C-alpha cells in the first residue's frame, strides 16, 4: 500500500484488501511487538503462560474483536448477541473453552437507553449460556453523528483443551472439509432489515455460540481434528482460500453438498450476491482426517444449530499456486476466489 492510499470500507471486509492492510501496514508498523506471521494469523492466539513464569501451566487462547453492525437489532439477534457469540467463537475454533471477557462500549449521544439496555441484556444472557464472565469494561460517549448508535469492543481469554492440536500445518491430503450448516443467513438477514426488504421470508441471522460444537469434536476426536474456523467476514470463500494459501494445498468442494436455506438463497439471488462470500455468525468449518469425517458430522448433528452438518469437500495435494475449486451442480468447475472487499458492509 502506498502512502497516498486511504482506508475504504472494503478494508474491513475480511477479503483481499483486509489482508493487504494487515500485511502491508499493521504488522510492519508493530515491528517486534507483532506476534505472528500473516500466514499464521488466526481468530485467537494460543499463549503459553508457563514459558513466562518458568513452570507448567495450561495453554490459554486470547482474542479481541470490535462490532459495528447496522442496524443494531436484526432478525435473530442484535449487536450484544453478536459481540458475545463472535468473541466466544474465535476462542472456540482455537480449541479453547471461554473463561473471561472484557467489553468496551462506545455510545453515541442521543442513543435511547432502552435500546442500550436491550442489547446488553442480550449480551448478558448469551454470556451466561456460554459460561463466560464479563469481568471488566469501559464506556465512552461520542458526539451525536460521530457513530451509528453503539460500537462494542471485546477481548477474551479461554483455556485450550489438552486434546486440541490445531493448525494449518496439520492439514494433509485427503482431509475432509466439514461445514456445520447453511450459509449466508446472518449477512442477508442484516441486509434485508437495513434496506427494509421483505423478500427474505423467515430469514434470520444464524448468530450463535459454537463452543459446544468445537468442544465435542475435540473431546471425541482429539488429534483427528486438524483445523477449525468460523466463516465470518468473507464467508466460506475467504476461509477456504485462506486454508489453501496457508497450506499450499488445493481444496476441492462440491456445490451440491453445501447446505443452503431457501430464504437465504432467494435473497442472495435477488440481490445478486454469492452465498459463499456472505458472513456467517454461527457456523463452523472443520478440517478433519478422512477416517474421522463421518463421526465428525454425526457429533455436530447432535446440536440443534448443526443439524445440517455435512462433508463438503477435501484437501488435495500441494501445488505451486494452490486453488479452491468448486464442482458445480451443472457438472462444471469454477475457481473460488478471495473476496476483494465486502459486499455487505457493517454486518459484524
- The C-alpha angle 207, 190, 152, rounded to 5 degrees, equals 65
Query: Among 267, 274, 263, which Cα is nearest to 339's?
Result: 274
288, three cell numbers:
478433519
Phi-psi region of 131 (alpha: psi -120 to 50; beta: other; left: phi over 0): left
Residue identified by cell 492439514 is: 171
Find the mean pLDDT for residues 309-314.
Answer: 98
Does residue 122 surpass a pLDDT of 90? yes
Phi, psi of 195 (to 5 degrees): -95, 0
Mean pLDDT of the 304-321 span: 97
Categorize the per-residue pLDDT at 2 as very low, low, confident or very high, splitting at 50, 70 and 90: very low
pLDDT tens-digit map of 142-182: 999 999 899 999 999 999 999 999 999 999 999 999 999 99
Q: Look up cell 445478486; give the residue.
A: 272
Q: Which of 37-41, 194-198, 223-227 has the lowest mean pLDDT?
A: 37-41
Mean pLDDT across 186-215: 88
Residue 317 predicted with pLDDT over 70:
yes
Phi and psi dihedrals of 94, rounded to 5? -90, 5
Q: Tell me how crowded residue 211 is: count the other CB atoms within 10 A of its CB.
A: 22
Residue 152 to residue 105: CA distance in whole angstroms: 5
- The pTM for the full model equals 0.88
Instruction: Name the average pLDDT for the chain.
Output: 90
Which cell goes with 17? Answer: 484488501
**Would you call 297 exposed, middle or buried from its count of C-beta atoms within 10 A (0-12, 13-18, 19+)?**
buried
Q: Which residues pair with 64 in a beta bridge?
A: 155
Q: What 8-state DSSP symbol labels residue 343? A: S
Helix/strand/coil percentages in the chain, nearest 5: 40, 25, 35
In the chain, the domains with their CATH numbers are 57-160 (3.30.1330.10), 168-336 (3.90.650.10)
State the sign of the Cα–Cα–Cα–Cα dihedral 259, 262, 264, 268: positive
> Are the CB atoms for 85 and 207 separated by under 8 Å?
yes
Give me the mean pLDDT over the 324-342 stretch.
90
Residue 203 has pLDDT above 50, yes or no: yes
Amino acid at each position: 500500500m502506498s502512502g497516498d492510499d486511504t482506508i475504504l470500507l472494503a478494508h474491513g471486509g475480511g477479503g483481499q484488501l483486509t489482508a493487504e492492510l494487515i500485511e502491508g501496514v499493521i504488522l510492519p508498523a508493530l515491528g517486534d511487538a507483532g506476534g505472528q506471521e500473516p500466514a499464521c494469523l488466526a481468530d485467537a492466539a494460543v499463549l503459553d503462560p508457563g514459558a513466562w513464569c518458568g513452570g507448567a501451566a495450561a495453554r490459554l487462547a486470547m482474542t479481541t474483536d470490535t462490532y459495528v453492525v447496522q442496524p443494531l437489532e436484526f432478525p435473530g439477534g442484535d449487536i450484544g448477541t453478536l459481540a458475545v457469540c463472535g468473541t466466544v467463537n474465535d476462542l472456540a475454533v482455537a480449541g479453547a473453552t471461554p473463561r473471561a471477557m472484557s467489553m468496551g462500549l462506545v455510545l453515541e449521544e442521543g442513543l435511547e437507553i432502552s435500546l442500550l439496555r436491550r442489547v446488553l441484556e442480550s449480551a448478558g444472557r448469551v454470556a451466561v449460556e456460554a459460561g463466560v464472565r464479563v469481568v471488566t469494561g469501559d464506556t465512552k460517549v461520542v458526539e451525536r453523528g460521530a457513530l451509528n448508535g453503539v460500537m462494542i469492543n471485546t477481548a477474551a481469554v479461554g483455556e485450550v483443551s489438552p486434546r486440541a492440536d490445531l493448525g494449518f500445518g496439520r492439514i494433509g491430503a485427503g482431509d475432509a472439509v466439514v461445514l456445520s450448516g447453511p450459509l449466508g443467513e446472518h449477512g442477508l438477514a442484516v441486509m434485508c432489515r437495513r434496506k427494509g426488504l421483505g423478500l427474505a421470508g423467515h430469514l434470520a441471522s444464524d448468530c450463535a455460540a459454537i463452543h459446544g460444537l468445537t468442544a465435542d469434536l475435540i473431546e471425541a476426536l482429539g488429534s483427528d481434528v486438524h483445523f477449525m474456523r468460523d466463516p465470518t467476514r468473507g464467508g466460506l470463500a475467504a476461509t477456504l482460500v485462506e486454508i489453501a494459501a496457508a497450506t499450499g494445498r488445493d481444496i476441492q468442494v462440491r456445490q451440491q453438498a453445501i447446505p443452503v436455506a431457501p430464504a437465504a438463497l432467494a435473497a442472495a439471488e435477488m440481490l445478486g450476491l454469492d452465498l459463499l462470500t456472505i458472513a456467517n455468525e454461527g457456523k463452523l468449518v472443520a478440517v478433519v482426517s478422512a477416517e474421522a469425517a463421518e463421526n465428525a458430522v454425526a457429533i455436530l448433528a447432535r446440536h440443534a444449530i448443526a443439524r445440517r452438518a455435512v462433508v463438503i469437500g477435501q484437501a488435495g495435494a500441494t501445488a505451486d499456486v494452490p486453488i479452491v475449486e468448486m464442482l458445480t451442480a451443472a457438472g462444471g468447475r469454477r475457481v473460488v476466489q478471495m473476496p476483494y472487499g465486502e459486499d455487505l458492509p457493517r454486518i459484524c
